[in-house]
Structure formats: C-alpha cells, structure tokens
Structure 1
C-alpha cells in the first residue's frame, strides 16, 4: 500500500487552481524531493496531505486513510515558524509541540518526557536540550524543529523548505540527517526545496509541480528540457556539469533565481497549524 496517494486531485486556493486532476503515489520509506517554480503550490500540496487544504475534486490518501488534520502518521516541519521565547531551552522548544501542544509548555508525564528525549537523541540534539534558543545556530535550530516533527513517531515526514537561509555546509547536514532518519526509521520523506542539487545523492525520486501539473519520477526522467518546459510554460534547458544539474531559462538559472527571490521574503507563505 502506498504511503501517499493523489487520485485525480484538484486543489484551489483563493480562487486559483493550484493542481488540476493530479495523480501520483509515494511509497513507504521513499525519499522524494518536491520542486517547482516559485508559487507553483509546493506548500499547498504539503498542506493538503496534512488535511489543511481540502481537494476541490479527487481524493488524497495518507497511510491508507483520507488526509485529515492531526494524523499521527505524519510529521511536519513548516516553512513559516511560530515565534518562541529565545530564553527557552532546546528541551522546552521540543516539548512545546508534545501532546498536540504548540508554542506552550505542557506538563508532560513520564512517557511524554521519554518521547521528547527520544526525539532529541534521534537527531543528535541531546546536547542542545539545556541551551537557550538564542544561543543556537540556524542548523542547530533545524535539528530541534526536526525533533518536533518526529514526536508521535510518524511514518511520513513533510519538510517545507528547511534549507532556506542555511549555508551549503548546513544544507548538506540537514539533507544527510533526514536521509539517515529515513533509512533507520523506515520513514517516507517529502522534502520541499527550491534547488535540486542539495538533494542529489539522497533522493529516490523527484516530484516536480508547475502550471497545475505534477510529474513524479527519477531525476533522469523528470529533470529534462521537455518535461520542465511544460511545467514552467517556457523553454527550459537542463545543463549537467559533473554531479550538478542546472535548470536554465536562457542565461538565467531559474532555481537559483527562485531561491534568491524567496530569501528576500516574497515566497509562497501559507501559515499552518496542526
């Protein structure tokens, strides 16, 4: 049984069609990179899997059940973060999401405390438990956010642009950590990013969205000029140099431009709560 199934799904947001009659399946334990032009609807697709956006038509199944809010099978690392007290420790931050709570400090029983300790240890963040958030680097905070997503021991991890604002070294660290968790815990991973190259070597397949369509397949099958030209709606050339792939529109690297654009605050931001 597939971990995620889209069956003839149409998604709309604010009167605009995001996806139209889309179908694909993500298998258990699979690491899928989610890419597409700026504003193509990557965040909306993730929110639909979470049950936060209902399909206009079609059906979304997650672990064999209709997508719905609060499914324990799904762990989510959002692009837009809530605000947290920078005096909180790493433990406080992760515990704030335990038991369905968010941005509050619940009273945890022994089982709840054990779950927080497990989530911190699993991502190698136990040493961060006593440190204040204000003293942590961006990469260290990402580890804590990933710990939050692991609470409840999901079968599927959804990550919305976790590489934004990280330098290349920290990007590699996040991708390698997520890939390791996927292997060791048997997790399916849907990892949204603006650029393919940081995910190379980790992903099994790529899900590319654009102009209401979605194409899922291997990198070699999807990252081609003809496929991406249809998704972008303009001529696209794919240039391969060694292990790196560049998606070009004329002389412009479209993925790189999208990343710089979003970095200045004009990304597709949709607030989500679980």
Structure 2
C-alpha cells in the first residue's frame, strides 16, 4: 500500500485552479521533498493530504484511506512550531501535548503517556534539555522538541514544513542526519517542504514537485536536473558535484 496516491487530482481555491491533472504515487518509507516556486501550491498540497482541503476532481488516498481519516497516524511540524506554544512551557510538557492535546478535558498524564514522552525525547536526542523551558532552547533544540511532539504518537508519516529554516549550517546537518536515522529506524515516511534542497540531497529518495500547474513525483536524481529546476524557479540553476561526488545546486 502506498503512503500517498493521487489519481487525476485537481484543486481549486477561490475559483482559481491551483494545480490539476495530477497523478502520483509515493511508496511508504520514502524520504520525499515537496518543492516548487512561491505560490505553486505546496501548502495546498499539505492541506489536501491532511484532509483540510477537498479536491475539485480525482481521488486522493493516504495509506489507502481518504485524507483526514488517518490523521492520527501523521505527525505534523509547522514551520513556526513554537508560535503555537507558550514560551514558558517545559520542553517535556510540549512533547506531552503531542499525545494529550487531542483529548477532551484535563487529566493527569498516565504512566504510559510519560513513558512515550521519554521514548520520543530519546529518539531525537533531547533528554538532556527536556526539563528546560522552550524559551531557553536554541533553534536546533526547539526543532528536536517539535520532532518529538510529532513522533510521540507513533505516526506512520511525518510532514515537516521548512524544518531547516533559520538554522545554521551545522545544525541543519545535524537535523538532516537525525531525520535520516528516524526514517531508517522507525520506518516512517517523511515529507519535507523545502526551498533549499542542498542540505537534504544526500538523504532524499524522491520529490513531489509542482510545475506548470501540475503535481509530479519522481526519483530525486531525476528531479535534480538543471533544465527542470531552472524552469521551475524561473532562474538559472546549475547542478554540480562536489569532490566527494555529492550533488549540489547553485543559482547564477
């Protein structure tokens, strides 16, 4: 069963077609970038997957079900994760909200809840600062807590909106390595909305790219193409290799 399956999908918002005639299939367990120029419909794509926006035509399946039906199996990290969290909250309690935030009423956390919080913190290597307040954490530490909040419910899919934005190069590298390990050890499908693919190229399997009013999906080595990327972003993009043979992109 694929993680995502689009069959002849079109999306309309405010009377305007965002993209149309889109058929794609993403296998479970892949690490997938979501790319496209500004206004191409990346956020729209996420809303469709989460069942927050109906399609005008075609069908979408998420692990074989209609969008929204299995959102408890999707961990979502917004671009500005901590905007929705109180700065005074402890990191540990922010992760706990990933479990209890969907429940009605207030209750003391169960022993199983606390165990799963500890487990998620360990997965993202955040145990050492789990009892500090979010306001005291660095950007990279907050990103780890955001990931733990998304992972604590044991999702099958992670959706991350610009997880590397505002991080320095070293921290970007650490987060990318962490994501690659999580994908490998937890067998989770990862979708990452990204403007800059360079930090992710070594770990990506494929990309969903929005081009000419359609959503496409292809292996990453087919997407990292100078002509395709130049057409997509409207500026000259060159694809080259480092001395170690790794791909990277640069604009002229």
For the criterion TM > 0.5, the same-fold answer is: yes
Question: Is the 8 Å Cα contact of residues 30 and 189 (structure 1) preserved in structure 2?
Answer: yes
Shift of 1:150: 0.7
Question: Unaligned regions of 5+ residues in structure 2, if any?
Answer: none
Shift of 1:105: 7.5
Secondary structure at 1:66 match in 2 = coil
What's 1:123 paired with? Answer: 124
Please tell me the root mean square deviation across aligned C-alpha atoms, in Å: 2.2
What's 2:97 paired with? Answer: 96
Inter-CA distance 204–105: structure 2 relative to 1 (3 Å threshold): farther
What's 2:211 paired with? Answer: 210
Shift of 1:244: 4.3
Inter-CA distance 106–75: structure 2 relative to 1 (3 Å threshold): farther
Alpha-carbon distance in 1 for matches of 2:107, 2:175: 28
Alpha-carbon distance in 2 for matches of 1:53, 1:125: 34
Question: Is the 8 Å Cα contact of residues 225 and 237 (structure 1) preserved in structure 2?
Answer: yes
1:94-119, Cα deviation, whole Å (9 max, x unpaired) = 112323439x9763212222221211
What's 2:77 paired with? Answer: 77
Q: How does 1:1-274 map to 2 (within 5 A)?
A: 1-68=1-68, 71-81=71-81, 82-101=83-102, 107-232=108-233, 234=234, 236-242=236-242, 243-246=246-249, 248=251, 251=252
Number of residues paired by the alignment? 247
Secondary structure at 2:89 match in 1 = coil
Alpha-carbon distance in 2 for matches of 1:6, 1:236: 30
TM-score using structure 1 length: 0.82
Alpha-carbon distance in 2 for matches of 1:237, 1:141: 32
Deviates further, 46-55 or 222-231:
222-231
Inter-CA distance 230–126: structure 2 relative to 1 (3 Å threshold): same
